[in-house]
Amino acid sequence: MLDLEALLRRADHLLERLESILPRPLAAPDWSASVAFRYRRRGACGWLQPVRQLSTIALTDLQEVDGQKDRLVRNTAQFVAGLPANNVLLTGARGTGKSSLIKACLNAYAQRGLRLIEVDKADLVDLPDLVDLVAGRTERFVVFCDDLSFDEGEPGYKALKSILDGSVSATADNVLVYATSNRRHLLPEYMKDNLSYTHTDDGEVHPGEVIEEKISLSERFGLWISFYPFSQEEYLAIVAQWLRHFGVSEPALSSARQPALVWALERGSRSGRVAYQFARDWAGRGESAASAVVGPAAAQVGADAGGAPPEGLDRV
């Protein structure tokens, strides 16, 4: 009897271990817990985790990207209203507000039923299951893929390509994909790929199958929104906006100009992210910031006559 009980306990333990590694159907979360969810995966099990601490960024916080903002807001408004809308690929310079713009759209339209599901690149193979889970719900879902790019042979590439356009089944009309990337074609391009180009007798050049495959994914996004590096004045305008956001008074803004340029010079970038980081530092230091020593790069900034951009910085 004791041997039988021990055997049964071992069998139960073995079954528990097997259940932990066998794939399970994706379960619906508590949709009222949040307006944003993050797809998590451990082993063969995946689930949607509510995001408890949401970014509070608003559309008005994002400066010097008015054209990009207008296009994404228009597309999102169409989607929330149940009108035709496109999947969106936001590409371009780092730190220029691509991800922040998507989060701001969520905050603007959450009250009208917009929801966001963030999916890592490695988990895109489960995208069809996610789409099936939310299909038929009244909310409108944006699948958010941040900093997206693929190496050759990664399985998520095919899954995303199929969902965007090309699967035998139609994509749910309450789901769109918003992706950000530093590269438009999402796959690495090599010099050897140029060997696949063909030349006709009349001088025309046609891309080969390798190139066609590499650009096919980005072409399935109906809307491309490009972001570009900021000029010095645009960067300073963004700095001023964030300083106001953090409660810095208007008279104190002028004293932050040179330190803001030094901050950008030391980081080799004049992006919106750099402007935000400077504003947090400057506002956090308060009164001591105006008289603080800003670093060795100050001499280079100060040497530029008439407040002109430091040499090379206008091309970062």
Q: Is residue 9 part of a domain?
A: no
In percent, the amount of the chain with pLDDT more than 90 equals: 44
Q: How confident is the model at residue 314 (pLDDT cuts 50, 70, 90)?
A: very low
Phi, psi of 157 (to 5 degrees): -60, -50
Q: What is the pLDDT of residues 57-108, one digit of tens each?
A: 999 999 899 999 999 999 999 999 999 999 999 998 888 999 999 999 999 9
Residue 248 and residue 202 share a domain: no
Q: Picking from 41-55, 119-133, 206-220, 236-250, which range would have the lowest pLDDT averaged per residue?
A: 206-220
Q: What is the pLDDT of residues 119-148, one digit of tens each?
A: 998 888 888 888 889 988 999 999 999 988
pLDDT of residue 308: 42
Residue 106 and residue 164 share a domain: yes
Q: Is residue 2 part of a domain?
A: no
HSE at residue 43, side-chain half, CA atoms within 13 A, is 10
Report which residue type is found at 278.
F
Q: In this structure, what CATH number is given to the domain that contains residue 44?
A: 3.40.50.300
Domain of 275? Answer: 232-315
- Checking if the pLDDT of 292 tops 80, the result is no
Among residues 191, 207, 227, the one where a domain terminates is 227
User: What is the model's pTM?
Assistant: 0.77
Residue of 281 and 285 predicted with greater confidence: 281
Residue 242 and residue 210 share a domain: no
Task: Please give the helix or strand (H or E) that residue 283 lies within, else none.
Answer: helix 272-285
Q: Is residue 13 part of a domain?
A: no
Q: Picking from 40-44, 219-223, 263-267, 276-280, which range would have the lowest pLDDT averaged per residue?
A: 40-44
Q: Which residue has the tokens 């953090």?
A: 246
Residue 258 and residue 213 share a domain: no
Q: How many CB atoms lie within 10 A of CB 285?
A: 13
How many independent structural domains does the chain possess?
2
CA 312 to chain centre: 28
Residue 265 and residue 150 share a domain: no
Residue 113 and residue 97 share a domain: yes
Nearest to 259 by CA among 244, 249, 243, 247: 243
Q: Do you know the residue count of the chain?
A: 316
Q: Is residue 11 part of a domain?
A: no
Among residues 208, 227, 246, the one where a domain terminates is 227
Q: How confident is the model at residue 30 (pLDDT cuts 50, 70, 90)?
A: confident
HSE at residue 102, side-chain half, CA atoms within 13 A, is 26
Cβ atoms 272, 98 nearer than 8 A: no
